[in-house]
Homo-oligomer: A and B are copies of this chain.
Amino acid sequence: MNDSEQSQTSEAEPGELGLVEWVDFVSEDTFDFENGGSIPGFTLRYETYGRLSESKDNAILICHALSGDQHAAGVYKLKDRKPGWWNNMIGPGKPFDTNRFFVIASNCLGGCQGSTGPGSINPETGEPFNLDFPVISILDMVRAQKRLIDHLGISKLYAVAGGSMGGMQVLQWMIEYPDMLDRALPMATTARQSAQAIAFNEVGRSAIVQDRDWHGGAYDPEAGPNVGLAVARMMAHITYLSEEGMEDKFGRARRTSEPSGAKGLFDVEFEVESYLRYQGASFVNRFDANTYLYFTKALDRFDLYKNGKLEESFKDVKAKTLVVGFTSDWLFPPQQNRDIVHALLRSGKIATYAEVSMSLGHDSFLVDAPELDALVRAFISQ
């Protein structure tokens, strides 16, 4: 185990976790994937924040979104420019209060931040899996997390929480392991991927697989399909924001004055262009194209409806559930979040829906906002 808790206390600002470390959990048992194929074992890279109680009843599992990872809170080095992706939610005195809870975040199976994924070495060949990696589903991600939770000796999670693809994992936890969690907190998510969301993912995948540097997935990690991946990310990033949010943040603000000639016409002109290009370029530096392909497919195939009904999937659910939707989220709009709660209620479960008015679109769940903070704090404290 890591000793991050010790370094935190000595280095952290008040109310902040400070320094954290990741740990690798290695499962040496064969893992069979939902849709066929298996691997002889896997690594999940994870982080923990706070202390596990003696009775092991205070653990909260955090599930990440498409481009997230195990680094949900704190910093690796004091000079890190940014803390983990949900640092506003996780820490001493925060909604996921590390003075009280033991918070666990792992990089999903199939990921590219240390967990086993398409870019990992296939022990049977000594080469990267690439497209030999089995098709991964949200259920596979959750089953791999279950092994980590077992390894930590936790028989029941206090809560499982996450937004977007993380919210899908929460729903899957509720269904697959109903006795293993007391509270479920899916946000900005859906019980089945919409046609529009599939369409956006397909454009991103098209940009990647048609990039000549993709090489059928067998690219050199140092020279991957960077153009395709950056274009995919730029486009996806728009879907994480909102028209109103973009208007407020960028409007028609210019980076340069209007060039008079056509030379340089397609360089950055508006601030929003600069922002998107930065998002694309920085994503390429931290993310693997094959993981992007596999994860978007997992999203697109996610569908908890059975014969048009969601209740059937929820029949064994035991967790108390709060679903949070965001008014300006048009990727997983409020209605898709409400539908989850309505199906839970129709199934006689304890569930409630909160809709937070924020203008920042799908990414609202990642933003520090008092209303969201209070909702999560109250639900987790119940």
Within A185-235, which residues are at the interface with B (CB < 8 Å)? Answer: 192-196, 198-200, 202-203, 205-207, 209-212, 227, 230-231, 234-235
Annotate A260-298 by CB proximity to B: 1 below 8 A, 0 otherwise. Answer: 111101100110110011001000000000000110010
Given the complex of chains A and B, what is the CA–CA distance between A330 and B331 in angstroms?
13
Given the complex of chains A and B, what is the CA–CA distance between A230 and B265 in angstroms?
21
In the complex formed, the residue of B with least CB distance to A305 is B252
In the complex formed, the residue of B with least CB distance to A207 is B231
In the complex formed, the residue of B with least CB distance to A137 is B258
Annotate A283-327 by CB proximity to B: 1 below 8 A, 0 otherwise. Answer: 000000000011001001101000000000000000000000000
Complex contacts, A238 vs chain B, CB 8 Å: 196, 199-200, 203
Complex contacts, A231 vs chain B, CB 8 Å: 203, 206-207, 210, 231
In the complex formed, the residue of B with least CB distance to A267 is B209
Q: How many residues of A contact B (CB 8 A)?
A: 63
21 contacts between A and B (CB under 8 A): A36-B260, A36-B261, A132-B262, A193-B252, A195-B246, A195-B250, A195-B252, A196-B238, A199-B234, A199-B272, A200-B238, A202-B234, A202-B273, A203-B234, A203-B238, A207-B207, A207-B231, A210-B230, A243-B333, A252-B303, A265-B293
The interface of chain A, by Cβ under 8 A from chain B, is 35-37, 131-135, 192-196, 198-200, 202-203, 205-207, 209-212, 227, 230-231, 234-235, 238, 241-243, 246-247, 249-252, 258-263, 265-266, 269-270, 272-273, 276-277, 280, 293-294, 297, 300-301, 303, 330, 333
The 6 residue pairs across chains A and B that have the minimum distance between CB atoms:
A195-B246, A36-B260, A195-B250, A210-B227, A202-B273, A196-B243
9 new A-B pairs (CB below 8 Å) besides A207-B207, A209-B266, A270-B300? A132-B262, A134-B261, A195-B247, A195-B250, A200-B235, A206-B230, A206-B276, A207-B231, A266-B293
